[in-house]
Amino acid sequence: MKDPFRATYRAPTKQGAAGYDNPRENIDPHLKTQAFSTSEMVAKTGVFAGNLNSNRILVGDGTEAAPSFAFTSDTNTGMYLNTADQIGWSLDGVQKAKLTASGMQLVGDVLPTTAKPMTIRGLDTNSATAVGVVLNASTALTTAGAKLTSFQNNEIEKAYIDYLGGAYFDGEVETGNTISINGQLKFKSVSTPVNTMAYTLGGPGNVDDGVHRYKVMFTTADGDTGLSTDYLVVTITDKTTNGQVLLTGIPISTNEKVTGRRIFRGKIGVSTSSYYLVYTINDNTTTTYTDNAADASIGTVDYRNIENVTAANIWRDGGKYGQIAANNFGLGYYCLGSSSTMTGWYNFALGRNVMRYCTTGTANTGIGQFALNTLASGSYNIAVGTEV
């Protein structure tokens, strides 16, 4: 069989101090096993550093900043010896991956090059103890708040598993099978806003003379957050001159569940703990609103005791089956104000449609299908049975 090396190359011949002529034209076909010295290769190529013989190519270790195998147009990108028995790859002089006895380790994101989902396939035997994919922190995590895994959508965290194995989901959890919980079931609500509002007085308007207090809440598809704990104080001395209130700095939530804000105000001559709806902003971007409403023209429902119901709701096939809140508890299909905004407190409902239309009722107890179904604002009622 004809030797391809012999047929192609001949040994180099000296051409004076300038170096060597074209090795492809001047290699002796009988010197196939000849080893070229490092100095000879460096003199010819200017970049080779190592040994070359018929069996192996040996080069220098290289470094992260200057890898051994690089490119003439990009000398700090390539492959090098990271340490003994480890191969490293660097881009722009920074390590991005390394191969060790334990496996491949990547530094940074793994991004698909096309608009297709990324699939990770594990390999294991088909048995009761089989594990498809293992995600393992390289260092034992013991600090509170540390996370083993974080799942994000466009860099917004949607779920994570903490270092103790606890799972957090920012949204609904759906399953066609059983959910087993070896620990606690915790609900996390959308945070109540911090009142950052400020104001300036405008021209003649309708806001009544006196001292007014403003609060704000966030709204979501699951319910409202409850009122901000702090309030803005605005004093109107003569509404014929300054009867309009331009509110600025209306809080914006960083939680994408928030779809709007509601502004509340107290009324002159009413308890300073009472707050009534002035206006609903149906977005999470607007930061200003001009209030020009008299006390008589704003809402009549007192929201002082409305609580955060953005979490701990139980749903099934689109229907609400329960609510677990600090001041109200309900379990049953369309129970406890499911058809309206609940501003009452200390209510307990157990059963289908129990207290379904309750809005401002307080300290009521209903047990049994349709118990206290039509109750809206009563207090201290107890009903046990069907349709009582």
Flag whether pLDDT at 252 surpasses 80. yes
Confidence band of 36 (pLDDT split at 50, 70, 90): low
* Whether the predicted pLDDT of 9 surpasses 50: no
Q: Are 287 and 346 in a shared domain?
A: no
Q: Is the pLDDT of residue 293 over 70?
A: yes
CA atoms within 13 A on the CB side of 175: 5
Residues 222 and 274 in one domain: yes
- State the pLDDT at residue 102: 80
Quote the CA–CA distance of 113 and 184 in Å, as a whole number: 40
282 Cβ contact list (under 8 Å, min separation 6): 259, 260
What is the model's pLDDT at position 172?
73
Amino acid at 111: L
Question: Does residue 148 fall inside a structural domain?
Answer: yes
* Residue finishing a domain among 297, 321, 343: 297
Determine the average pLDDT of the residues in 222-246.
94
- Is 137 within the bounds of a domain? no
pLDDT of residue 79 exceeding 90, the answer is yes
My answer on whether 282 and 244 are in the same domain is yes
For the ranges 105-109, 205-209, 288-292, which has the lowest average pLDDT?
105-109
Q: Does 5 share its domain with 49?
A: yes
**3-state SS of the chain?**
CCCHHHHHCCCCCECCCCCECCCCCCCCCCCCCCCECHHHHHHHHCCCCEEECCCCEEECCECCCCECEEECCEEEEEEEEEECCEEEEEECCEEEEEEECCEEEECCCCCCCCCCCCCCCCCCCCCCCCCCCCCCCCCCCCCCCCEEEEEEECCEEEEEEECCCCEEECCCCCCCCCCCCCCCCCCCCCCCCCCCCEEEECCCCCCCCEEEEEEEEEEECCEECCCCCCCEEEEECCHHHHCCEEEECCCCCCCCCEEEEEEEECCCCCCCCCCEEEEEECCCCCCCEEECCCHHHCCCCCCCCCCCCCCCEEEECCEEEEEECCCEEEECCCCCCCCCCCCCCCEEEECCCCCCCCCCCECCEEECCCCCCCCCCCECCEEECCCC
Same domain, 290 and 359: no
Q: Going by C-beta distance under 8 Å and a sequence separation of 6 or more, which residues neighbour residue 10?
A: 23, 24, 25, 26, 27, 28, 29
Residue 202 and residue 293 in one domain = yes
CA 302 – CA 306 distance, rounded (Å): 9
Residue 60 confidence (pLDDT) = 86
* Residue 279 shares a structural domain with residue 317: no
- The residue that leads in pLDDT, 33 or 125, is 125
Domains held by the chain: number? 5
**206, 274: one domain:** yes
Question: Span 363-388, mean pLDDT?
Answer: 92
Asked, for residue 339, whether it belongs to a domain, the answer is: yes
Q: Are residues 293 and 220 in the same domain?
A: yes
Euclidean distance between CA atoms 104 and 10, whole angstroms? 41
223: burial class by Cβ within 10 Å (0-12, 13-18, 19+)? buried
- Is residue 208 domain-shared with residue 287, that is, in the same domain? yes
* Beta bridge pairs of residue 289: 247
pLDDT for 129 equals: 80
Q: Is the pLDDT of residue 54 over 60?
A: no
Residue 24 lies in a domain: yes
Give the pLDDT confidence score for residue 379 in this predicted structure: 93
Task: Indicate the range of 131-135, 221-225, 279-283 predicted with least confidence.
Answer: 131-135
Taking the alpha carbons of 64, 69, 72, 73 in that order, is the dihedral positive or negative? negative
**Which residue matches tokens 């911090």?**
194
Of the candidates 349, 371, 344, the residue with the CA atom closest to the CA atom of residue 359: 344
Indicate whether 175 belongs to any domain: no
Residue 121 counted as domain residue: no
Could you tell me if 207 and 247 lie in one domain? yes
Q: What is the pLDDT of residues 186-207, one digit of tens each?
A: 888 899 999 999 999 999 999 9
* Shared-domain flag, residues 288 and 219: yes
Could you tell me how far CA 184 lies from the centroid of its own chain? 22
pLDDT band at 253 (very low <50, low <70, confident <90, very high): very high
Tens digits of per-residue pLDDT, 139-177?
Answer: 888 888 888 888 888 888 888 888 888 888 877 777 777
pLDDT at 24 over 50: no
Question: Does residue 111 register a pLDDT over 80?
Answer: no
Domain of 96, in residue numbers: 69-100
pLDDT digit string (tens) for 350-374? 999 999 999 889 999 999 999 999 9
Does residue 44 lie within any of the structural domains? yes
pLDDT of residue 5: 43
Output the pLDDT for position 340: 67
d(CA 232, CA 340): 28
Q: Rounded mean pLDDT of the chain?
A: 83
pLDDT of residue 6: 44
pLDDT tens digit sequence for 295-337: 999 999 899 988 898 888 888 887 888 888 888 999 999 898 7
Q: With respect to residue 162, please indicate whether it lies within any of the assigned structural domains.
A: yes
> Which residues are within 8 A (CB) of 265 and not within 5 positions of it... i.e. 6 or more apart?
212, 213, 214, 215, 275, 276, 278, 291, 298
